[in-house]
Amino acid sequence: MQLLKEKHIAYVKSLDSHTDDYEYWLSEHLRLNGVYWGLTVLCILGSPETFDKDDVIAFVMSCWDDKYGGFAPFPRHDSHLLSTLSGLQILATLGGLDNVKKDQLKLSQCLKFISSNQLEDGSFQGDRFGEVDARFSYNALSCLSILGELTPEVVDPAVNFVLRCYNFDGGFGLSPGAESHASMAFTCLGALKITGKLHLLSPEQIDMIGWWLCERQLPEGGLNGRPSKLPDVCYSWWVLSSLAIIGKLEWIDYEKLTQFILSCQDEKRGGISDRPNNEADVFHTVFGVAGLSLLGYKDLVPVDPTYCMPYSITATFQKYGLY
C-alpha cells in the first residue's frame, strides 16, 4: 500500500468546511492544536499553501489572551501552555512569529505567562489552576526555544524535574513515579534535547530508554504506548521521535511499522486513524505522516523529531547553550 498524499491533503482541507459538524464544535478547546496538526500534515506532505496564510495567522492572533498572555485554543477561552505552543508553532511555520516577538507587550506578557506557571520544583502547570504534567514542561521549554528566550533560571529547575520523571523500567511518566508512557518519553527527551541537556542521561540509561521504546513495537508492526496495550498510530510519533532524539531509530522494524501506518489510512476520504478501519482524525493523521517522514518514506519533507515541525523551520531557532 502507498501513502495517499493527495487524499490526505484534501482531508485536512475539508476539516475547515465541516464547521456544521457538531463534533467540530465540541472540540473548540483543541482548535488551535488542531490547526497546528493540520498545518503540519500539509507541510510534511509538501503542500503548506493549502491553508490561507493570512487567515490562519489572523485566527491565531484572535486566540491571544489579553489578560494573562499566551494563546487560548479559541477566542475568549483561557490561555494554556498547550495552546500557547500550538500558536507559536503555527506562527513560526508561517513566518508570523514577529506578531509576538516584535510586539514588546505581547512578548513580555507571553514570557510572563510561561514563567509564572513554573512551580518551585521546576515543573510546570498548564495554567494557573494547577494541573502538573511533564507535557507542560515540554510545552514551556519549546515555546521559549521558539522565541529564543531560554534562560538558566527556567531551564535548570525544569530539567531537574524532567529527569525525576525517569522510571525504573526505562520509561518516563507524567510526574515522578507515574507510570511510563510513550508520550512522556517524547516530552521528557524533547525537553532535554531542546535545552542541550541530553548528556545528563548516562549511556546505560540511554540504552535502557531505547530498549523500553523499541519494546513498544508489537509483532504485527504497530507501536503501543505502554506494555500490554493495543497499538495506535499516534505512538508512531511519540516512540519514533524519542528514538530519533537519542539516535536509536534503527531499533524499530521500519518495514512493519510503515505497513501498519499505511493500513490505517482512510482510502476513500483521506486521513489516518488510530488503528485499521477506525475513523480518521487530524491528530492521528499528523502523527502518522510525521512518523513516516522519520522513517524516511519517499517524497516527504523531513521533520524535526524534537519539535514536530519541518527542519527548514526549526533550523532558524536559536540553539540554547551554544551562543
Partner 1 sequence: MTDCYDEFNLEDYADVEPLPIVTGLKDELCQIMYSEEYKQLMGLMRAFLSSNELTPRAMRLTARVIAVAPAFYTAWNYRFNIVVAIAKDRLDQEFQWLDEVTLNNPKNYQIWSYRQALVENLGQDLTLRGDLPIMDMMLDDDTKNYHVWSYRKWAVLHFKDFTHELSFVDKLIDRDVYNNSAWNHRMFYMKNVSPDDRTIDEEITYTKNKIELVPQNISSWNYLRGLYDHFKPETGHKGELLKFAGGFIDALDLNATADSAESLPEIESSYALEFLASEYATEGQLQRAKNAYQCLALKYDPIRGSFWNYKITTLEA
Residues near partner 1 (CB under 8 A) are: 16-17, 19-22, 24-31, 35, 52, 55-56, 58-59, 62, 72, 75-78, 80, 126-127, 129-131, 167-169, 173-175, 177-181, 207, 210-211, 214-215, 217-219, 221, 226-229, 250-251, 253, 256
- Least Å from the CB of residue 5 to partner 1: 23
- Least Å from the CB of residue 253 to partner 1: 5
- Least Å from the CB of residue 233 to partner 1: 17
Residue 168 backbone class (left: φ over 0; alpha: ψ -120 to 50; beta: rest): alpha
- Least Å from the CB of residue 281 to partner 1: 14
- Least Å from the CB of residue 67 to partner 1: 10
Q: Which is nearer to partner 1, 227 or 321 (CB)?
A: 227
Q: Are 267 and 276 in contact (CB under 8 A)?
A: no
Q: Which is nearer to partner 1, 130 or 298 (CB)?
A: 130
Q: Which is nearer to partner 1, 204 or 267 (CB)?
A: 204
- Least Å from the CB of residue 167 to partner 1: 8
CA distance 159 to 164: 9
| DSSP count for the chain of H helices, then E strands | 15, 2
CA distance 168 to 177: 9
Residues in the chain: 323
Q: Which is nearer to partner 1, 47 or 175 (CB)?
A: 175
Q: Is 47 helix (H, G, I), strand (E, B) or coil?
A: coil
Q: Which is nearer to partner 1, 148 or 176 (CB)?
A: 176
Q: Which is nearer to partner 1, 230 or 312 (CB)?
A: 230
- Least Å from the CB of residue 95 to partner 1: 18
Q: DSSP secondary structure string, 131-189?
A: -B-HHHHHHHHHHHHHHT---HHHHHHHHHHHHHTB-TTS-B-SSTTSPP-HHHHHHHH
H/E run at residue 108: helix 104-116
For 294, counting Cβ atoms within 10 Å of its Cβ (0-12 exposed, 13-18 middle, 19+ buried), the class is buried
Q: Which is nearer to partner 1, 165 or 233 (CB)?
A: 165
Q: Are 272 and 266 in contact (CB under 8 A)?
A: yes
H/E run at residue 210: helix 203-214
